[in-house]
Amino acid sequence: MASLSQSEENYLKEIFHLTQLQKEKVSTNSLASRLNTKASSITDMLQKLAEKQLVQYIKYKGCSLTENGEKIAVQIIRKHRLWETFLVNKLNFGWDEVHEVAEELEHIDSVKLVDSLDQFLNYPKFDPHGDPIPDKNGKIPYRKTKMKLVDAGIHKKLEIVRVNEDEMGLLKYLERQNLQLGTKLEIIEKFSFDDSMLVRTELDTTINLSKKVTENISVKIVEN
């Protein structure tokens, strides 16, 4: 089990994420754009990872993770999300400040460290953005009932359970609007001409949210 380079780990992680989004095999170009590299670099690396039995790769057909590759990817995601939780819960980072540092911390290689951190944080199930934190065995506590705000029905009592941390600028925007995980809200009206919606929060403030926003927030129904 020779340990992997940061680069290799990032590739595995990204293949995992892309596989979640669309069920098909992951294309060279999609990886290239997520990893900010050129397609040729992706091809090189995929060949290496295939060699190491971490991905299945068929020329021109894209790739997917092997069982082993997925196991490793999940552990990196576990570390990433635990560190983000640590930074927010213990070191008082804002939720928009943690991702970059977690990108570095996730590569620290020590099982004892990760497990101790997990315990120290009291075995959190979700990170500061509401993403599930895989446990020691790689089990991911997906939320069963969760939908994008854009798809939620009108006049139901909703609670924000997840925000898309990848969406550049969203976190800061939500902070400014006083919207956070756990915030309860209700859709008052949906405007079809620009797909924005008017929502009312607990404090009786009403805000208009654009499609861009409501597509990147997930909620659960609290009551109806």
Partner DNA sequence: GTAAATTTTTAGTCTTGTCTAAAAAAATAG
Partner DNA sequence: CTATTTTTTTAGACAAGACTAAAAATTTAC
| Residue numbers at the binding site for DNA (CB under 7 A) | 5, 7-8, 27-30, 36-48, 57, 59-62
The one of a second copy, DNA, Mn ion, none whose footprint includes residue 44, by CB under 5 to 8 A per kind, is: DNA
Tokens 């992680």 belong to: 13
> Would you give the binding string for Mn ion spanning residues 164-193, x where CB under 5 A is met?
-x----------------------------
> Would you give the binding string for Mn ion spanning residues 130-149, x where CB under 5 A is met?
-x------------------
Provide φ and ψ at 219, rounded to 5°: -135, 165
One-letter amino acid at 25 equals K
Q: How far is the CB of 60 from DNA (least distance, A)?
A: 4
Which tokens hold the place of 178? 């006083």
The one of a second copy, Mn ion, DNA, none whose footprint includes residue 99, by CB under 5 to 8 A per kind, is: Mn ion
Q: Where are the alpha helices (DSSP H) in 99-148?
A: 99-105, 111-120
Q: How far is the CB of 98 from Mn ion (least distance, A)?
A: 7
Closest C-alpha among 81, 108, 99 to residue 9:
108
Q: How far is the CB of 37 from DNA (least distance, A)?
A: 4
- Complex with a second copy: residue 112 or 144, whichever CB lies closer: 112
Which tokens hold the place of 47? 């060949």
Q: Where are the alpha helices (DSSP H) in 106-188?
A: 111-120, 170-176
Is 14 near Mn ion (CB under 5 A)? no
Q: How far is the CB of 97 from DNA (least distance, A)?
A: 24
CB 76 within 8 A of CB 106: yes
Q: How far is the CB of 55 from DNA (least distance, A)?
A: 11
CB 33 within 8 A of CB 97: no
Report how far Cα 76 is from the mean position of its chain's Cα atoms.
Answer: 12
Is 127 near Mn ion (CB under 5 A)? yes
The one of Mn ion, a second copy, DNA, none whose footprint includes residue 38, by CB under 5 to 8 A per kind, is: DNA
Distances (CA, A) of 91 to 94, 125, 177, 210: 9, 19, 23, 32
Q: Which residue is nearest to Mn ion (CB)?
A: 99
Q: Which helix (H) or strand (E) holds 217?
A: strand 217-223
With CB under 5 A, what is the number of residues at the site for Mn ion? 6
Give the footprint of Mn ion on this chain (CB under 5 A): 84, 99, 127, 129, 131, 165
